[in-house]
Amino acid sequence: MHDERRRIEERVARLHDQRIKPAIYAASVPLEVAAWQAPGEPVSFEEAAAAPYAPFAMDTPWGPPWGTTWFRMNGRVPAEWAGRRVEAVIDLGFTGDWPGNQAEALVHRTDGTPLKAVNPLNQYVPIANPATGGEVIDYLVEAASNPDILANEFTAPTPLGDVRTAGDRPLYTFRRADLAVLDEEVWHLDLDLQVLRELMRELGEHDPRRHEITHALDRAMDVLDLDDVPGSATAVREALRPVLAKPAHASAHIVSGVGHAHIDSAWLWPIRETKRKTSRTFSNVTALADEYEEFVFACSQAQQYEWVRDNYPHVWERIKKSVAKGQWAPVGGMWVEADGNLPGGEALARQLIHGKRFFMDHFGIETKGVWLPDSFGYTAAYPQLAKLAGNDWFLTQKISWNQTNTFPHHTFWWEGIDGTRIFTHFPPIDTYNARFSGEEMSRAVRNYAEKGGATRSLAPFGWGDGGGGPTREIMERARRLKDLEGSAKVEIEHPDAFFAKARAEYPNAPVWVGELYLELHRATYTTQARTKQGNRRSEHLLREAELWATTAALHAPGYAYPYEKLDRLWKTVLLHQFHDILPGSSIAWVHREAEAEYARVAGELTALTGEAIAALGTGAPRVFNTSPRDRAEVVRTPEGAPVYVRVPANGSALLDPAEPPHPVTVSGGRCMENGIVRVQVTDDGTLSSVFDLRAGREVLAGPGNLLRLHTDLPNYWDAWDIDEHYRNRYTDLLEPDSVTVVEDTPLVGAIRVVRSFGKGSRITQTITVRAGSARVDFETDIDWHETEKILKAGFPVDVRAAHSSAEIQFGHIQRPTHTNTTWEAARFEVSGHRWVHIAEPGYGVAVINDSTYGHDVTRTVREDGGTTTRVGLSLVRAPRIPDPEADQGRHRLTYALLPGASIEDAVAEGYALNLPLRVADSAGEPEPVVSAEGEGVTVEAVKLADDGSGDVVVRLYESRGGRASGVLRTGFPLAGAEITDLLERPLEPARTDGNAVPVRLRPFESGR
């Protein structure tokens, strides 16, 4: 037989694209359209319905960036269309085929009921099936003219990312608003051809099945009447039926499909637009559920459900009905799909608590898995927290984006830092926006790493990132691929069902230990520093407000614990931990609003803490310590004078001066010493020496606190990525404007260094040594005006460290300092929370911070044979895409060097730096609500129980990485104690002895 594949494939392609697709809609008539441009921000349906509308013609430009235009559409179904399937077809002037980052619209009835959304891949609104003829159409369409931020593929900055800079030129040209007859037989023929053509192209050239499909397509095209495509469509489908009916091989891979619509809670659009996106997508999904009884849709992010509940009650009711029918699957159990590295431990717990509670309260469903397809790496604390929240499985996708190494598993047990394991799946289809194309199905089989051990994988299907979700075309593909020779088989089912089957067939899946590090998007630890600082500060202010509110509730008669305010503020902070807000990868509008929200949250929380302390009564000045460790340090009086005080953990003490162990001396304008550490500042503003007087050794192996300005232009994703070549070009900032002693007292010595550089940037640093502390602080004020640069502070330390330890949620993680393999080499920029620690046996040093997350650790051997381990703390970046002004302006932050530090010291000082002592008048002298005895036993949160019972909840963990035995003591009469899960549900009783609760913890175990 001659090889005619090329002729046949080209023939089929032309007939399919040029004759069959255009015949899907058999007839059409235009709708009458009028328009009203809403001023400013979106308005309610009621306001839009009462607005004056002007006639609007097709091919007319409309829609300024971020604007809203309401269209009134009227029409009548022609009588001759009786018995046909009639739809409205609306094309707003869509650009490309991505639904999420351009014009979108929601169609309403005149009573305000949302019907369905329209986007590039979902342009229809059902009218009647079958029509009787004469149906009257009267719709109000809310159209959003969101700009396409991706139009230049992130190759150039754009002003469109903020309504303040986007201008008002119309972005779109309205193309179509018609009533049309859908020819179902032609539509189905189009889908038959799509599935067969794509499958054919994926099969090998020597595969008989490929040739069978090819010739079947050729024969079918012989049946097609070019002059009457609708009239011949049934015959063409009959010709294809045998090749579509052949069942899959018995050993075919099984793809468990679940509908999905990944909706970023903010990204290339502001939060206000996400609220509307949820209504559009969820309207479409619930409509699709009515059409396809086998359809199952997985939807995460309780925050988005709450937006719909509060703003779109009709859509909310439809969701509840779909949930009740089993077609809508709440998943994920988190308030939002948060960043996987940056939220603090308590915040990550609250993500799970608030998310799971929402689904339980509103649907009576306890979600069983963590659904995080699109975060930028995943902390090794997740397995423990997920299990403590009652979860059985974990799903992610993003690790497929690794730059260097291919992750070796798709189904595996993930083991966290405490030893907890959770069953985890990583879909080999390599997308959370699957549409069951031939290429995707082939990729899922080809990639699948568990061949021979397991047979199934998950595929979230539907258009996403900006929403959109599954379409009827995707559902039709799934039906055709349910059992088709040459393809994997598609089973649509709930994620819980998939995980149950996957675990049953593969109980001895391989184990991955530690973090799931994404070898990409490493700059998300640093970009948009003010957003990150707002998050860090909010987390600690929440801790402070909860502790002192609990103290007041127990000891101040008449004080009412502010449950609702704390709940609302927590949810605001949790929302902004979304994986494109906190990482700094959103447009300017998002980060501008985030900074304003963090300022509001800080003001409210400061006021709540003040009210709680005031409730204890007014009297003498007291010092309040919110951290979990006793403190002896210098604090400022309200007048600004330094005082050395001792304050118990989670407690308070009178502002009475205590005698420090050794006074601070400043000599020669450059040297500060306090009997613990001696710090020498050079004329260039760096540290030439940090001498540990206790250990009798020099800490530094080179200039300390060396500020280095690197060129920072990644290959593609500017806000997201830092590529390793950034190291190759840099400027050391060694020419200060001034180096001046600014404080010289027995309690505080401080030297200020001012530097001007670059494009008008300026850094003012105050280097401070305090009595009684080994910590050297660098209070830093940056006025930043650079572009495509990153600023790092380097500390070359004279220790031979085999690994670094960085704080993560409820513990820390160790990472090798060598680059023996590509896996270690790929970790050239990593994340940590309040501290990073490096050590050799017998001696360690920590670098502590109050707001940064990114750092690098490198190791070199000097000519004298000694080893230098260098910590480079990432302070601020200057990407231009998607926010051209990212990080520009003022930044105030503090980091510190802690010589002679153990892990326990790093933990204590990390808390201390982030939870400064508070001075306030108070007459009350209550015992701390709870105090912990025992090394490594660390209290993370103290609050009242969420059920309003008045019970006290204490969250604690083992922080050193070893076993811990200790005692919790309460400052109130203890009636009893229980160990609970994260949702405060009792697990087992705890032994008590008076007001003491004995505690035993495994390494990094979190106790409740």
Residue-level pLDDT at 348: 98
Of 328, 334, 270, the closest CA to residue 462 belongs to 328
Q: Which tokens sit at 700?
A: 């530094």
Q: Which tokens sit at 786?
A: 């650079």
| pLDDT confidence bin for 152, thresholds 50/70/90 | confident
368/394 Cα distance (integer angstroms): 9
DSSP label at residue 701:
S
Task: Answer yes or no: is pLDDT of 198 > 70.
Answer: yes
**Model pLDDT for residues 235-273, shown as the tens digit of each residue:** 999 999 999 999 999 999 999 999 999 999 999 999 999
458/461 Cα distance (integer angstroms): 9
Residue-level pLDDT at 1008: 65
DSSP label at residue 666:
E
Residue-level pLDDT at 1007: 67
783 with 889: CB under 8 angstroms?
Answer: yes
Residue-level pLDDT at 925: 80
**Mean pLDDT across the stretch 656-677?**
95
374 noted as active-site residue: yes
**Model pLDDT for residues 306-362, shown as the tens digit of each residue:** 999 999 999 999 999 999 999 999 999 999 999 999 999 999 999 999 999 999 999
**Model pLDDT for residues 370-422, shown as the tens digit of each residue:** 999 999 999 999 999 999 999 999 999 999 999 999 999 999 999 999 999 99
Other Cβ atoms less than 10 A from the Cβ of 511: the count is 12
DSSP bridge partners of 425: 395, 411
Of 976, 943, 256, 852, the closest CA to residue 545 belongs to 943
Residues in Cβ contact with 410 at an 8 Å cutoff, skipping those fewer than 6 apart: 425, 426, 427, 428, 447, 448, 449, 450, 457
DSSP string, 3-65: --HHHHHHHHHHHIIIIIGGGSEEEEEEPEEEEEEEPSS---HHHHHTS--EE--TT-EE--T
Residues in Cβ contact with 830 at an 8 Å cutoff, skipping those fewer than 6 apart: 517, 522, 525, 806, 815, 854, 855, 856, 857
Catalytic residue among 148, 183, 190, 374: 374
**Mean pLDDT across the stretch 879-883?**
97
Q: Which tokens sit at 436?
A: 């069951």
Residues in Cβ contact with 645 at an 8 Å cutoff, skipping those fewer than 6 apart: 623, 631, 632, 633, 634, 635, 653, 655, 656, 657, 658, 917
**Model pLDDT for residues 416-427, shown as the tens digit of each residue:** 999 999 999 999
307/324 Cα distance (integer angstroms): 20
Side-chain-side CA neighbours of 747 within 13 Å: the count stands at: 16
Specify the 3-state DSSP secondary structure of 601.
Answer: helix
DSSP label at residue 207:
-
**Model pLDDT for residues 735-765, shown as the tens digit of each residue:** 999 999 999 999 999 999 999 999 999 999 9
488/439 Cα distance (integer angstroms): 11
Specify burial of residue 240 (Cβ count, 10 A radius: 0-12, 13-18, 19+).
buried
Looking at every residue in the chain, the average pLDDT score rounds to: 97
Of 629, 661, 634, 630, the closest CA to residue 645 belongs to 634
- Give me the long-range contacts of 681-689 (CB less than 8 A, separation at least 24): 681/739, 681/751, 681/753, 681/767, 683/736, 683/739, 684/734, 684/735, 684/736, 685/733, 685/734, 685/736, 685/739, 685/753, 685/755, 685/765, 686/734, 687/767, 687/776
DSSP bridge partners of 461: 259, 434
**Model pLDDT for residues 486-538, shown as the tens digit of each residue:** 999 999 999 999 999 999 999 999 999 999 999 999 999 999 999 999 999 99
637/621 Cα distance (integer angstroms): 9
Distances (CA, A) of 402 to 406, 449, 826, 965: 7, 16, 9, 41
858 with 870: CB under 8 angstroms?
Answer: yes
985/949 Cα distance (integer angstroms): 13
Q: Which of 24-33, 580-589, 834-843, 923-932 has the lowest mean pLDDT?
A: 923-932
Quick one: the chain helix, strand, coil %, rounded to 5?
30, 30, 40
Of 365, 482, 509, 315, the closest CA to residue 425 belongs to 509
| pLDDT confidence bin for 175, thresholds 50/70/90 | very high
